[in-house]
Amino acid sequence: MDLEIGFNDCLQNYGLIDDYGLYRDKKWEHFLQAIKDNNLVDKYKPEFVSFGGPVADILATVYDTSIEWKISAEKTNDVIYLFKSRNERVRGEYFTKQSLRRSYCGLKFLHLVTDRNDNELNESDKCFAINCVDFVGHKVLTLNEFDAIDDDNKAVDIKMVQRISSAKDQDFFVRKKLLRFWSKACVQGIDRLVIGNIESNNYLLDIEERKVEDIPEDCAHKWSDINCLNFLNRFFAFVKSCITEEKVVFEFHFRSGEEYVVCHRIHPKCKSTLLPEFYTQS
């Protein structure tokens, strides 16, 4: 099946997100509004609040040092809020037509798997859930996107990968792709993945399922889930040791290929804040 069919129509009808900076900021605002409206900090008493994606990135970092990330952090009322900064170096590449084409194919595959073929394709039509995860003593309140719910009312994550045609492809799939799939599912609390295998021209070949709990064992010769979790907990402890003031923004930077995270304090004159006024007002 050719997943690219209908791409131009979807693009012309503004069905794809082409400004992820604006989208990300709006999502953060809605996340904070939901926390405030539902008193989730009082209910769950987390140490950290974050989108799920950045937590998953940090979780995978010990075995995948190829991706650079920056995390801004601000503490208020003893809770640390984490917000991933955009990487300016790669931002332009994301808005190419090829990237939008891949986003469209993923969206179309999602609708195919979830029997939503008759609906108009719109990338902004998403479902999110807020969950609190305890990573060995560090409680993190996260916002995660959910692709689908199965017949047992359990969340399922839907992925696409290029067909494995060589030993090199297989190695990359185990070392990087499954690591990323597992780390995201770990934060989301998802048990099952549905994966579409595609050709380089975005032609869908077949669909398979994987249980998340089996992934670490399948990849044990390449990476360890225990080491990933230990690194994440060391990062959380490092953040808490660095942030000694409230309502001051700190930045944590991991550079591609390096083996450490750097922290620096944003100068107060920058008036940088992660939390809008509506959220901090009592």
Give the residue among 105, 141, 103, 143 at the shortest CA–CA distance from 124.
103
- Structural domain spans, the chain: 7-146+224-280
Task: Please return the burial class of 82, using the count of CB atoms within 10 Å of its CB with bins 0-12, 13-18 and 19+.
Answer: buried
pLDDT value of residue 87: 55
Give pTM, 2 decimals: 0.89
The full DSSP string for 35-73 is: HHHTTHHHHH--SEEEEHHHHHHHHHTTT-TTS-EEEEE
> Under a CB-based contact definition with an 8 Å cutoff, are residues 80 and 239 in contact?
yes
pLDDT tens-place values along the chain, 282 residues long: 888 888 788 777 767 787 778 888 999 999 999 999 999 999 999 999 999 999 999 999 999 988 889 999 999 999 999 998 765 444 444 446 777 888 888 888 888 888 765 557 788 788 899 999 998 789 999 999 988 888 888 889 999 999 999 999 999 999 999 999 999 999 999 999 999 999 988 899 999 999 999 999 999 999 999 999 999 999 999 999 999 888 899 999 998 888 889 999 986 655 557 898 899 886
pLDDT value of residue 89: 44
Q: Which uninterrupted H or E stretch holds 117?
A: none
Sign of the Cα torsion 182, 176, 62, 221 reads positive
Helix (H, G, I), strand (E, B) or coil at 128: strand
pLDDT value of residue 272: 59
Rg (the chain; Cα; Å): 19
Place of tokens 């869908």: 204
pLDDT value of residue 252: 95
pLDDT value of residue 37: 95
